[in-house]
Amino acid sequence: MANVDTAAALWWAVIASGLYHGVNPGMGWPLAVSAALMERSQYSLYKAVGALALGHLLAMAAILFPFAALLFLVEWQREIQIGAACLLIGLGLFLLIKRRHPRFLARVPPSRLALWSFLSAMAHGAGLMLVPIYLGLCRTVETDAGHAAAADLMTGNAGIALAVALVHTATMTLAGAILAIGVYRWLGLRFLSQSWFNLDVMWASSLLIVGALSLIVAL
């Protein structure tokens, strides 16, 4: 029963992080509004949202699947979780100290939104934030390290990684799309210019909090 409750809480954390990423302007929803306004077509907004979602999903998968492979070594699971938590804390501290957005993101042309979304998610540590949650979900699944087949372990870990990436990206896309459609159809450019709030400190702090909590649980 405890494992079920823990797993449910972790899945809610996946959804909450998706909503958080979705409302964050740094994940790209204003670019979807811009595309629709420039081409005077709401279809362009949907197309841009789809491209942003694809890039974000690929970034989540690129981070999570290597950890799925590492968890093949079940006896090292605790050490892997500690290492992931330390990486997250380190990135949070780095982003608190250096708050400038990576300049290379500005060099990606608007026609390559999927690539921009992928690079932005990687640069901001969006995928890394999911790693401790994913590792926690893996630990709620009962496995017998001595008798479980290697292929079953790999399949199970990869399946959870894919589910986390899909659920997170779907939630992020829904939240971002709602904001983009609202701004494009009703709120307008003035709201967009006034709502470009800076979430850098909150973002870095959330990385530190998730990393610290994961480290405490692992230890």
What tens digit of pLDDT does each residue of 83-108 get? 888 888 888 888 788 766 556 566 66
In the chain, where the domains are located: 2-218
Token pair for 53: 């979602």
Query: H-type helices in 140-219, by residue range?
Result: 150-182, 188-194, 200-218
Residue 172 pLDDT grade (very low, low, confident, very high; cuts 50, 70, 90): very high
> Could you give the CA distance from residue 128 to residue 151 in angstroms, rounded to a whole number?
25
28 sits in the region (left: phi over 0; alpha: psi -120 to 50; else beta) called: left
Residue 68 pLDDT grade (very low, low, confident, very high; cuts 50, 70, 90): confident
Q: What is the pLDDT of residue 48?
A: 93
- Contact yes or no for 167/137 (Cβ under 8 A): no
Q: What is the pLDDT of residue 192?
A: 64
Q: What's the pTM? A: 0.81
Mean model confidence pLDDT for the chain: 79
Q: What is the pLDDT of residue 147?
A: 40
First to last CA, the chain: 22
